[in-house]
Structure 1
Amino acid sequence: MSKSTDYDFATADFNSVYRGGELLGDAGITKAPWDIGEAQPGVIAFEHRGRIRGDVLDAGCGLGDNSIFLASRGYTVTAVDAASAAIEQATERAAGADIEFAVADATSLAGFEGRFDTVLDSALFHTLDADGRRSYAAALHRVARPGAWLDMLCFAAVPGGMPEPLSVKEETVRQVLGEAGWRVTELEQTIYWGVAEVTLGFLAKTGTQVEIDDQGRTQLPVWSVLAERA
């Protein structure tokens, strides 16, 4: 049986999975497991708490549901993803919503310097390797204005969570963000919804046990991180 260490998560092919191909080797994931068709509850919670303001960057926007939600609430949103297939489908899904979509490498974000008051990361940070996480945190700092907020959801390395290295220890989050010039003001555990039928085979291979709600969604533990650009 395959274990989590058998998979090189850095080789995940996001363009492939958005087009119905394999995301990761023989994991059997051929649909985006994060595509729940609506904004993540953690993102809605950020907005309800007043954690969104000004010009917003949705980094790693995927199919755009979080961006669509924020635009519907009146925010100016720029949504970027490295996967061109994601941006193509997100643009269609947004159906004329006032969102600027762009294909961009989140570890550099060249051309977006100093533009944003709020940065949203809904499940991007944990997909990167150690070097990528450091580059990404630094890139977010460059594109954020002084005093900007970072709201982040990333898989938590806790019992019942995704296998490492696709989940992150609390101290790693704090260290990487701190080194990049972000001051973490709050870090707590919450949940991230996924589509259970898409990932059950993979989770079985990795020996991961997760909760599934009555809508067939996985309930995965994530860190809900609030930070401020120092």
Structure 2
Amino acid sequence: MNLDFDDLYTTTTVPWDLGEPQPAVVAFERAGRISGAVLDVGCGLGDNAIYLAGRGYRVTAIDAAAPAIEQARRRAAARGVDVEFAVADATGLTDFDSRFDTVLDSALYHCLTDEQRPQYIAAVHRATKPGALLSMLCFSDQTIGGLPAPFPVSEHNIRDTLSAGGWAITDLSPGELTAVTASAREFVTQYPDAVSDDKGRVLMPIWIVQAQRV
């Protein structure tokens, strides 16, 4: 994926800027997938981290894009919640060894190259405690209403990479990622049967992945 995220966060409204947490992340929390010290990796503008902090979790949120972290800090301050934000490389996660009980990846994995993905999963393993939980949302190679994901990843890729990196997948199923239609209009209008939610936001195909550190 060849995108300049610093530029995107500075010059545009990104399609994943809902101004609220991803519905799938809310579902993770309600299902008991979040506990202890939480790492939101690839946090973007911070809405998922802010939601979890507002629910009482200790959240550290990182992103490689400094403009995203700057905006996320302002959002957290405006909402009166405490999140530890940092600019950091998800494929290294230096200074975070054995720190987290839960990892949330809301649409980061598919942004990485084939070479970076094993590095990232190994880094997340180092940053977590034994038995830690990983909850991940990743663009899939399926479609919803004929709409494909822009950066599709196969189930086989996820299973092989996580298994080799020390994670046991407990569930992997198709699901939906919510995107702001206006921001993704050029892409979405090619697919007249694309599915939207009750707020007019497009639903994009993902894998919903749950795994445990072994």
Fold match (TM-score > 0.5):
yes
> What residue number does 1:142 align with?
126
**Aligned partner of 1:130: which letter?**
D
- Measure how far apart 1:180 and its partner are: 0.4
Distance 1:39 1:163 in 2: 20
SS of aligned partner of 2:148: coil
**Aligned partner of 1:151: which letter?**
S
> What residue number does 2:71 align with?
89
Could you tell me which of 9, 15, 19 is aligned with 1:37?
Answer: 19
SS of aligned partner of 1:212: coil
**Aligned partner of 1:32: which letter?**
V
Distance 1:134 1:162 in 2: 24
- Measure how far apart 1:140 and its partner are: 0.5
Matched residues, number: 210
Asked whether 1:105 is paired with 2:72, we answer no
> What residue number does 1:61 align with?
43
Q: Within 5 Å, which residues of 2 pair with 1:40-189?
A: 40-95=22-77, 96-160=80-144, 161-163=147-149, 166-189=151-174
**Aligned partner of 1:115: which letter?**
R
> What residue number does 1:24 align with?
none
TM-score by length of 1: 0.87
Deviates more, 1:214-223 or 1:31-40: 214-223
Distance 1:83 1:208 in 2: 33
**Percent of paired sites with the same residue:** 50
> What residue number does 2:6 align with?
15
**Which runs of at least 4 in structure 1 moved beyond 6 Å after TM superposition?**
none
Q: Which runs of 5+ in 1 are unaligned?
A: 1-8, 21-29
Distance 2:133 2:204 in 1: 24
8 Å Cα contact 1:61/1:67 also seen in 2: yes
Distance 1:134 1:204 in 2: 34
TM-score by length of 2: 0.93
